[in-house]
């Protein structure tokens, strides 16, 4: 696997962005870190988000320049974790009776999770919804004058309540009943 080539022109972190990252690593909140780094305190949350987004685009390039490409990280660190073992000592009355090398399952599981996350095999943790539309299906009990095989009514909550397009708010036929 060849190291990733940077997309577009070479990017560098600005002095303020480096200060921001130092404050984040020191434990400051993003809003506090952006102010301490010298950005405008007018909208610190928005400024912090913008700086983080620019850093996300720059950090992979910086890692590659430091010799920490994806392939280097996988071969030097992740692959050995998949073969990790641990030594178990079995004792009785304070004396070691047996020593065995066993698979370090927790370490291997963590390494596999890390590999799958890098590949994007997991669903995103936070799913953003772009629209908040809800459809309600009303199951109606047969009444006199209705046939049993009618389809249930579907109410679309995108429209204002009580209107069905005729503008008078009295339901489909204008007299307050829906039948």
- Torsion angle, alpha carbons of 93, 96, 99, 102, to 10: 40
- Which residue bears the tokens 């305190």? 41
Residue 169 domain-assigned (yes or no): no
Q: Say which residues have a Cβ less than 8 Å from residue 111's Cβ, sequence separation at least 6.
A: 78, 81, 82, 84
What would the pLDDT profile of 58-93 be if each residue is shown by its tens digit?
777 777 777 877 788 788 888 888 888 999 999 999
- Counted domains in the chain: 2
DSSP helix/strand/coil, 26: coil
Q: What is the Cα–Cα distance from 96 to 104, expressed in whole angstroms? A: 20
> What number is the average pLDDT over the span 97-111?
90
Same domain, 20 and 58: yes
Q: So what's the pLDDT on residue 149?
A: 59
Residue 48 domain-assigned (yes or no): yes
Q: So what's the pLDDT on residue 110?
A: 87
Which position has the higher pLDDT, 21 or 117?
21
Residue 155 · residue 136 · CB < 8 Å: yes
Residue 172 domain-assigned (yes or no): no
CA angle, corner 44, sides to 39 and 49, nearest 5? 95
The answer to pTM > 0.75 is no
Residue 39 domain-assigned (yes or no): yes
> Where in the sequence is the domain holding 19, given as residue range(s)?
15-67
Same domain, 62 and 81: no
* Domain final residue, candidates 29, 44, 67: 67
């Amino acid at each position: 696997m060849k190291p990733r080539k940077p997309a577009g022109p070479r990017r560098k972190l600005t002095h303020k962005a480096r200060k921001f990252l130092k404050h984040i690593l020191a434990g400051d909140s993003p809003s506090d870190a952006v102010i301490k780094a010298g950005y405008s305190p007018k909208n610190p949350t928005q400024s912090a988000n913008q700086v983080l987004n620019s850093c996300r685009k720059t950090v992979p390039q910086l890692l590659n320049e430091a010799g920490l490409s994806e392939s280097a990280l996988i071969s030097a660190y992740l692959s050995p974790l998949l073969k990790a073992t641990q030594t178990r000592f079995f004792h009785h009355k304070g004396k070691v009776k047996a020593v065995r090398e066993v698979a370090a399952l927790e370490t291997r599981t963590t390494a596999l999770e890390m590999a799958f996350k890098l590949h994007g095999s997991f669903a995103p943790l936070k799913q953003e919804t772009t629209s908040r539309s809800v459809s309600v299906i009303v199951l109606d009990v047969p009444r006199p004058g209705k046939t049993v095989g009618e389809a249930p009514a579907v109410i679309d909550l995108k429209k204002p309540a009580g209107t069905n397009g005729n503008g008078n708010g009295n339901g489909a036929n204008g007299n307050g009943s829906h039948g």
